[in-house]
Structure 1
Amino acid sequence: MTTLPTGGPSGSSGPTDSRGPTEGGETTTTGAPTSGSGGAAGATGAVESSIGGTAGGTTNAGEVDGNCAPKGCGGQVQACGDCLDNDGDGAIDLDDPECLSPCDAREDVFATGSAGGKSCALDCFWDGDAGPGDDGCRWDLRCDPARPGPGKCAYDPDRDCPAEQGAECLVACRAPNGCDCFGCCSLAAFGLDGAVYLGDPDCSLANLDECAQCTKNPGCENSCRPDLCEVCFGESAPPPGCAEAACPEGQECVTAGGGSDCGQDMFCAAGCCAPLPWG
């Protein structure tokens, strides 16, 4: 299904949260974010850059870009919002494709690195919290025949799995173009066939071939439409022939030098301003 061009099943944009299997085979879900490497609690300011972008904002490992202002989430600053190149790959914060939002605690993997409850059950991957009560999204790693969940979360063909998601989930969960509500995303932008589970705690650009494969939930997949100028997950610019990304009127954004023209409580994702998962 394709929704409004900003991204999620609700039509608003922006990846936010991620979670995945722990070393013991259980999933890790996120709660309120904890401070990230190099962050200073409570700092706020201009937001960073769009997912997958590389133009401007690059630094040497640990250096602060002069055009970047830290972006706080829930009163704290995480690694993806601290204006530092925490993983030494030459890209800071949301110029780093592995940062899904300024609220992510790690720059070196797609998963956020935040700790939370341990369960095979998932709620919305992108909403900044661990519980399904506020979004109505429900899925389980044991429901996926691609088996993204190791150990006790391995595929269970006898499990009752809700293929369809309710209206509350579709409104609340803002999956980016090319992803479903639960963090299963196409990574064609990185030359990878099939879909990858971003909650895999070891999934990064350095080892894409080893990332856990997944099957998108058909009830809340937000397919990407480049022909409508949608920017797909992992892309840094509108498709060829498009002057700008398809967004609701007034929500287009551009990035340069680690900053963007989105508001204080917003960040630039796939060319459109999106709300932070934590205010």
Structure 2
Amino acid sequence: MRPVLPLSFSLLISLFGFTLGSGCSDSAVDGAAPSGGAGAGDSGSASGGGSASGGGSASGGGSASGGEGAGAGTGTSGGGVIPTPTTIVMCQGKTYQCGDLIDNDGDGLLDSQDPDCLGACDNTEDSYYGGIPGQAGPACTVDCYFDQDSGSGNDDCHWNHQCDQNEVAPGYHPESSNGTMCAYNPSASTPGAQGKSCSELNMRQSDICHDTCGPLTPNGCDCFGCCELPAGSGLYVWLGSDADGTGEGSCSRDGISDPSRCEPCTPVDACLNDCGRCELCLGKETLPADCFETGTGSGAGGDGGGTGGGAPGTGGAPGTGGSGSGGDSGGQCAPGVQPCGLAGQDPCAADHYCITGCCQPVVN
């Protein structure tokens, strides 16, 4: 599981005493796929059952078995109130709405607490549209949706909406305002992509793309802003939808089921950051209860002695216990990445931003 952006976490929604905020991915680069192809997803499992066995034998017919083992796993939990962001977070030296410590849309949620904020490079708190000047870029051609600019020069992510099978009459999604200009063409040539076909771009994006855009891509999205909404539905919409052609965007949380506002799109497999079972994701506000449970396990065997005509038997070697962790589908974040967005979890450091539950470095 891993990575193509932005979430619905309310300060007032609680889970077993935990209130959920904004959420991130659990792969090595926050869901970025290896350059070899499809996006990598969650991995990891836990089992609470320990086991042990051992055995000995006596030449005279006596037998013995013994050994013991135990294993225990640990889960994670939190409680209390989600910390309020206290540090302005900048993107490429500029401060945008989602990092300015101002409740710009008046919903009572600041910056990373706001489910409409997809990172420090997001200049809107009331929609999924990025709102960065010039972000829209050329018609049909798209690059990393979640960074500070348009153009693939700094992220080497390449896609063309002419490769999207939704770009057919009558809707021509996800760029309906450009009409037939972006009409589906599986043989389309994508500027800057070194002649790679639609199929090649779908299967492989560069290491630079994964390293640069991967950590910024929310769980449930590909790196080009095509996200599964509602979460778990298998339906994808383009966050950059601008159906009315105003340049202000048309997709927001209350419009995800309206294709005239949040236009359908086909996610790019090469950088799709899937939504893991125990991950916070765009539009996913709760986690299964067992993601917070503790797994335990034990095994035991008794010492034994041989009987019969031969020498006494000896007990077997001690067994080994099992291991466990909260849930059975991976953790909230990749190993070494600080989790955030849940009640009781620490806020991110000043140079990081909470993206779908994980502290990711900002683009500077």
> Scaled by the length of structure 1, what TM-score is found?
0.69
Other structure's SS at 2:257 match: helix
Tell me which residue corresponds to 1:27: none
CA contact (8 A) 1:183 1:197 kept: yes
Tell me which residue corresponds to 1:171: 211
Counterpart code for 2:358 = C
- Which residue, 141, 147, 151 being the options, matches 1:121? 141
The alpha-carbon deviation at position 230 of structure 1 amounts to 2.3
- Say if 1:267 and 1:97 are closer, same or farther in 2 by CA, change over 3 A: same
Tell me which residue corresponds to 1:266: 352
The alpha-carbon deviation at position 194 of structure 1 amounts to 0.4
Q: For 1:7 and 1:270, how far apart are their aligned partners in 2?
A: 7
Tell me which residue corresponds to 1:130: 150
Other structure's SS at 2:221 match: coil
The alpha-carbon deviation at position 188 of structure 1 amounts to 2.7
- Say if 1:255 and 1:10 are closer, same or farther in 2 by CA, change over 3 A: closer
Tell me which residue corresponds to 2:39: none
Q: For 1:125 and 1:207, how far apart are their aligned partners in 2?
A: 19
Other structure's SS at 1:241 match: helix
- Say if 1:127 and 1:84 are closer, same or farther in 2 by CA, change over 3 A: closer
Tell me which residue corresponds to 2:240: 199
- Say if 1:188 and 1:206 are closer, same or farther in 2 by CA, change over 3 A: closer
Deviations along 1:19-40, one digit per CA (max 9) or x if unpaired, are: xxxxxxxxxxxxxxxxxxxxxx
Q: What residue ranges of structure 1 are gaps of 5+ in the alignment? A: 15-54, 58-64
- Which residue, 174, 188, 195 being the options, matches 2:230? 188
Q: For 2:359 and 2:224, how far apart are their aligned partners in 1?
A: 21
Counting only pairs closer than 5 Å after superposition, residues 85-104 of structure 1 correspond to structure 2 as 85-104=103-122
The alpha-carbon deviation at position 154 of structure 1 amounts to 3.8
Other structure's SS at 2:211 match: helix
Q: For 1:180 and 1:8, how far apart are their aligned partners in 2?
A: 15
Tell me which residue corresponds to 1:219: 270
Q: For 1:90 and 1:203, how far apart are their aligned partners in 2?
A: 21
CA contact (8 A) 1:126 1:183 kept: yes
The alpha-carbon deviation at position 195 of structure 1 amounts to 0.6
Counterpart code for 2:142 = L
Q: For 1:11 and 1:203, how far apart are their aligned partners in 2?
A: 27
Aligned residues between the structures: 225
CA contact (8 A) 1:237 1:245 kept: no
Q: For 1:167 and 1:102, how far apart are their aligned partners in 2?
A: 24
Are 1:247 and 2:247 an aligned pair?
no
CA contact (8 A) 1:80 1:104 kept: yes
Q: For structure 1, which segment, 148-157 or 207-216, has the greater mean C-alpha deviation from structure 2 after superposition?
A: 148-157
**Which runs of at least 4 in structure 1 moved beyond 6 Å after TM superposition?**
none
Q: What residue ranges of structure 2 are gaps of 5+ in the alignment? A: 4-22, 33-80, 167-172, 189-196, 242-248, 293-330
CA contact (8 A) 1:148 1:154 kept: no
Are 1:139 and 2:163 an aligned pair?
no
The alpha-carbon deviation at position 199 of structure 1 amounts to 1.0
The alpha-carbon deviation at position 56 of structure 1 amounts to 5.4
Other structure's SS at 1:173 match: helix
Identity %: 38
Other structure's SS at 1:196 match: strand
RMSD: 3.1
Deviations along 1:69-120, one digit per CA (max 9) or x if unpaired, are: 4323233321112222222333332222111012211111101111213332
Q: Which has the larger radius of gyration?
A: 2
Q: For structure 1, which segment, 108-117 or 86-95, has the greater mean C-alpha deviation from structure 2 after superposition?
A: 86-95
Tell me which residue corresponds to 2:182: 153
Q: For 2:155 and 2:27, how far apart are their aligned partners in 1?
A: 12
- Say if 1:6 and 1:105 are closer, same or farther in 2 by CA, change over 3 A: closer
- Say if 1:141 and 1:8 are closer, same or farther in 2 by CA, change over 3 A: farther
> Scaled by the length of structure 2, what TM-score is found?
0.54
Counterpart code for 1:219 = A
